[in-house]
Amino acid sequence: MTLSQEQRAIIEGAIRDIPDFPKPGVIFKDITTILNNAEAYRTLQEHIRDRYQSYNLDYVAGIDARGFIFGAALARDLGVGFVPIRKKGKLPYTTVSEKYVLEYGLDEVEIHIDAFEAKENPRVLLIDDLIATGGTANAAASLISKVGATCVESCFIMGLTFLDGIQKLEEKSPVYSVIEVN
């Protein structure tokens, strides 16, 4: 299921461009403005709910932090559990972690070791706001697999197709971007 032209116009119209952030020459696509636009946020959440209703999901896993906003609401709408994938040191119980490369170093994300134990052969949707180079998303998809679940798809509000993150992640799961930026 893809967006209608009307849905696309509503969502894209709520995205703010910030020139020269985080450095000169870059136009940052700020999706936080979708959140304070009731029509855009509702349109987005209804679209992803409709897309994933038939996927027989057991969980939605959201990446720290904006993936929590979209993922928790989607999990509620689908009647499934929500699992946070957090930055290192933020989860209180036993965790499994995965490191990934940043432009200037390494970072790490974690998941609770028992995040999906309530279901047998759990089916999980991974969600976040944006995929660019794909480091965080790849680490998150690896974590889902490490703790015994299947990542049936990875969903992003925005996909930057001019970078190679989507192609890298497609080696682990199908990828869906609500809005693509070329």
Mean pLDDT on 74-81: 98
Mean pLDDT on 3-25: 95
In a domain? residue 9: no
Query: Can 66 be counted among the known catalytic residues?
Result: yes
The encoded tokens of residue 11 equal 């969502």
Q: What is the percent of the chain where pLDDT is above 90?
A: 93
Nearest to 181 by CA among 4, 1, 6, 11: 11
Q: pLDDT at residue 4 above 80?
A: yes
Query: Can 103 be counted among the known catalytic residues?
Result: yes
Kindly tell me the burial class for residue 148, based on how many C-beta atoms sit within 10 Å of its own C-beta (0-12, 13-18, 19 or more).
middle
In a domain? residue 177: yes
In a domain? residue 44: no
Which residue in the list 39, 51, 103, 170 is annotated as catalytic?
103
Q: How far apart are CA 97 and CA 146, in angstroms?
A: 9
Which residue in the list 66, 86, 98, 110 is annotated as catalytic?
66
Split into its structural domains, the chain has a count of 1
Nearest to 159 by CA among 140, 132, 122, 120: 132
Provide the residue range defining the domain that includes 141. Answer: 56-181
pLDDT at 2: 85
Is 125 in contact with 55 (CB distance < 8 Å)?
yes
Q: For position 119, which CATH number holds?
A: 3.40.50.2020
Q: How confident is the model at residue 8 (pLDDT cuts 50, 70, 90)?
A: very high
Q: pLDDT at residue 26 above 90?
A: no
In a domain? residue 88: yes
Q: How confident is the model at residue 14 (pLDDT cuts 50, 70, 90)?
A: very high
In a domain? residue 31: no
In a domain? residue 172: yes
117-160 confidence digits (pLDDT tens): 999 999 999 999 999 999 999 999 999 999 999 999 999 999 99
In a domain? residue 15: no
In a domain? residue 17: no
Q: How far apart are CA 73 and CA 106, in angstroms?
A: 30
Please give the model's pTM, rounded to 2 decimal places. Answer: 0.96
Q: Is 14 helix (H, G, I), strand (E, B) or coil?
A: coil
Is 7 in contact with 34 (CB distance < 8 Å)?
no
Using only C-alpha atoms, the chain has a radius of gyration, in whole angstroms, of 16
pLDDT at 146: 97
